[in-house]
Amino acid sequence: MSYTISPVVSDDVESVLKFLKRTFYLDEPILRAVDYCQTGNDDTHDLDEYCRHSLPGCSFQAKDEDGNLIGVLVCDRCPVVNPTDCLTALKDCKSPKYKTVIRMQIMREIIAEIWNQYPNDSELIEIKMAATDPKWRNKGVMNKLMGVIEKTARDLGVRLLRIETSSAFSAKSAESKGFKCIFSRPYTEFQFDGKPFIITEPPHLDDRIYIKELF
C-alpha cells in the first residue's frame, strides 16, 4: 500500500475540506462528544469556515496510487499568543454545538498559558487537524505527515511545533515524534455549573497540548 505526500495548495482546499467532512468532522473525539454532525452532508458552516481560514497554510496531504486523498495534516503559522482567534470564533459562531467546542478551547488556552511557557517565541507552527481515511488508519500515515511538517518547520526557521491531541492516537504520534506534553487534563474536568460538558469515548479521555522545540 503505497502513497505520496504533497503540500496542500489553494486549488486543493475544497477537496481537502470534503475529505475532512467525512473523516475529522465525524470521528474527532470532541466533535463526536458534542454530536456535531452525523453525516458528511450536515450543515457545518462554522467548522467549514475555520478550515477555509486555516487552509492551505503549510498543510500536507497523502494520496494513494489512484490519487485519492487518504490523509491530511492541517498546519499553519500562528502567533504564540493567540486566544483572540477563539474569542472571534465564539462571537461569529452560529451552531450551539460548535460554541461548546470553542468554549472548551478557550478554557484550555487560559489554563495552559502557553505564552508564559515560551516567552521568547513569537510564533509557532500549529498542527490544527489530523485526519486519516478509516481504511488507512494505524498504518503510519499520520506519523509520516508529522515527519514532513517537522522538516518544513525547520526549513522555515520556525522553532516550535504545537499539536492539541483530543485523540489518544494523535497523542501517541506526538510522543513517538519526541513532542513534550505541556498540558493534560481529563475532559471530565472541563465543567460548567459543576458538570462536565464534553464526554468523550475511551480511549480518548484526556485533552492535551504537545510542543516540540526544534532548535
Ligand X SMILES: CC(C)(COP(=O)(O)OP(=O)(O)OC[C@H]1O[C@@H](n2cnc3c(N)ncnc32)[C@H](O)[C@@H]1OP(=O)(O)O)[C@@H](O)C(=O)NCCC(=O)NCCS
Note the residues at the interface with ligand X (CB under 6 A): 23-24, 27-29, 71, 130-132, 137-143, 165-167, 169-170, 172-173, 176
Say if CB 42 and CB 108 are below 8 A apart.
Answer: no
Closer residue to ligand X in complex, CB, 27/121: 27
| CB 153, min distance to ligand X, A | 18
Alpha-carbon distance 49 to 54, whole Å?
Answer: 9
Provide CB contacts within 8 A for 104, sequence distance 6+. Answer: 30, 190, 197, 198, 207
Closer residue to ligand X in complex, CB, 86/131: 131
| CB 15, min distance to ligand X, A | 17
| Strand, coil or helix: 186 | strand
Say if CB 123 and CB 78 are below 8 A apart.
Answer: yes
Alpha-carbon distance 128 to 185, whole Å?
Answer: 19
Closer residue to ligand X in complex, CB, 23/59: 23
| CB 204, min distance to ligand X, A | 7
| CB 194, min distance to ligand X, A | 27
Closer residue to ligand X in complex, CB, 103/139: 139
